[in-house]
């Protein structure tokens, strides 16, 4: 099916924004048009797989049915939200850094990803770079996720259920190159499978309670809890502070960051700044 997205939406920007680790850019087909921005991504989210191609003129081709789009992917891409309007709340004179970040990273959206998948993914992310995170997530999915076939006839592995992950042995987890995070992933799987934590319920919980419950999990600190809150529960005011954000806050906001002014969109602005700063750093190297 073909859809039109008038609001901010940039597949490459989202793919590089560090919130999703199972997006893969496809090699361009030699027969289809070259160059002109018609990128294709293969996206695995939860148990689903989607090929999405940008066609230009705000149009996108998706290899799913209307129903799959309405029931899943439309929400996944957060297409009910108006990001252009959220960007317009930033004053270029009052906050030039955030304005430049939002302008440069225009097209990023906060995906509505599965809470359990985000919990495991960001536990895995600690002290690691993005290629290593992607590798471990993929290995874990292969280890205990459902094997399925996409519309192109290619195999993929659904993200594992909590029960499937909880059933893995120490050796099997270790084979996913999780290192010392093995015991954290195991504890999270036990908690989610055994019902001692109800991630879905946290979607409607307030932020202090959400963070308090998430950080009660072994291996989940304030940073990972904020990532789960933002990317898995869609609490878009959550503001994860990692080593990069610490640098940004120290360099650009020595007198303090105006969280109150930007509520309830702090998480979205954080994502613009995070991506922009990493872009600037990569160019200097």
- Return d(Cα 165, Cα 178) in angstroms, integer: 13
Asked if 104 is part of the footprint of DNA (rule: CB under 7 A), the reply reads no
Q: Which is nearer to DNA, 55 or 139 (CB)?
A: 139
> At its nearest, how many Å lie between DNA and the CB of residue 47?
23
Provide the sign of the torsion angle of the four alpha carbons 182, 187, 192, 198, taken in this order: negative
Among 10, 18, 166, 168, binds DNA (CB under 7 A): 18
Please say whether the beta carbons of 184 and 219 come within 8 A: yes
Q: Which is nearer to DNA, 64 or 178 (CB)?
A: 178
- Return d(Cα 25, Cα 161) in angstroms, integer: 26
Question: CA 257 from chain center: how many Å?
Answer: 24
Total residues binding DNA (CB under 7 A): 36
The alpha-helical segments, DSSP class H, found in the chain are 11-15, 66-68, 74-76, 83-87, 96-104, 115-125, 130-144, 162-166, 170-174, 182-194, 207-215, 222-227, 243-252, 259-262, 266-284
> At its nearest, how many Å lie between DNA and the CB of residue 269?
11
Among 169, 174, 196, 212, binds DNA (CB under 7 A): 174
- Asked if 13 is an active-site residue, the reply is no
Please say whether the beta carbons of 24 and 41 come within 8 A: yes
Contact string 266-285 vs DNA (x = CB under 7 A): ----xx--x----------x
For helices 96-104 and 266-284, the axis angle rounded to 10 degrees is 80
Q: Which helix (H) or strand (E) holds 213?
A: helix 207-215
- Return d(Cα 34, Cα 44) in angstroms, integer: 25
**Number of C-alpha atoms within 13 angstroms, CB side, residue 149?**
3
- Return d(Cα 281, Cα 140) in angstroms, integer: 31
Asked if 242 is part of the footprint of DNA (rule: CB under 7 A), the reply reads yes
Catalytic residue among 223, 246, 261, 283: 223
Copy the structure tokens of residue 195: 């019902």
* Binding residues for DNA restricted to 132-161, rule: CB under 7 A: 132, 135
Asked if 31 is part of the footprint of DNA (rule: CB under 7 A), the reply reads no
Q: Find the part of the chain contacting DNA (CB under 7 A) among 42-50, 57-65, 161-169, 177-185.
A: 177-185
* Binding residues for DNA restricted to 211-240, rule: CB under 7 A: 215, 218-225, 227, 240
> At its nearest, how many Å lie between DNA and the CB of residue 1?
29
* Binding residues for DNA restricted to 113-132, rule: CB under 7 A: 125-132
Q: Which is nearer to DNA, 39 or 242 (CB)?
A: 242
Classify burial at 70, counting beta carbons within 10 Å of its beta carbon; exposed 0-12, middle 13-18, buried 19 or more. exposed
Among 97, 99, 244, 253, binds DNA (CB under 7 A): 244
Q: Which is nearer to DNA, 62 or 110 (CB)?
A: 110
> At its nearest, how many Å lie between DNA and the CB of residue 28?
22
Give catalytic residue positions: 223
| Residues at the site binding DNA, with contacts judged by CB under 7 A | 17-19, 125-132, 135, 174, 177, 179-181, 215, 218-225, 227, 240, 242-245, 270-271, 274, 285
């Amino acid at each position: 099916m073909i859809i039109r997205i008038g609001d901010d939406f940039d597949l490459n920007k989202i793919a590089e924004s560090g919130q999703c680790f199972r997006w893969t850019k496809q090699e361009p087909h030699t027969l289809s048009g070259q160059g002109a921005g018609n990128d294709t991504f293969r996206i695995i989210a939860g148990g689903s797989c989607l090929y999405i191609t940008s066609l230009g003129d705000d149009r996108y081709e998706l290899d799913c049915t209307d129903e799959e789009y309405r029931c899943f992917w439309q929400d996944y891409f957060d297409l009910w939200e108006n990001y252009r309007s959220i960007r317009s709340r930033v004053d270029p004179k009052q906050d030039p850094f955030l304005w430049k970040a939002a302008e440069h990273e225009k097209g990023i959206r906060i995906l509505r990803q599965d809470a359990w998948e985000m919990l495991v993914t960001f536990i895995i992310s600690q002290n690691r770079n993005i290629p290593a995170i992607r590798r471990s997530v993929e290995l874990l999915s292969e280890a205990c996720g459902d094997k399925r076939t996409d519309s192109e006839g290619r195999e993929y592995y659904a993200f594992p259920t909590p029960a499937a992950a909880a059933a893995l042995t120490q050796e099997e987890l270790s084979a996913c190159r999780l290192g010392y995070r093995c015991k954290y992933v195991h504890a999270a799987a036990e908690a989610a499978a055994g019902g001692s934590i109800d991630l879905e319920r946290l979607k409607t919980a307030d932020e202090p309670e959400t963070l308090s419950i998430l950080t009660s999990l072994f291996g989940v600190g304030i940073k990972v809890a904020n990532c789960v809150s933002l990317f898995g529960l869609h609490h878009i005011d959550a503001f994860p502070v990692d080593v990069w954000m610490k640098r940004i806050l120290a360099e650009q906001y020595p007198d303090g960051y105006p969280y109150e002014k930007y509520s309830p969109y702090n998480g979205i602005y954080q994502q613009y700044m995070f991506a922009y700063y990493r872009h600037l750093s990569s160019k200097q190297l």
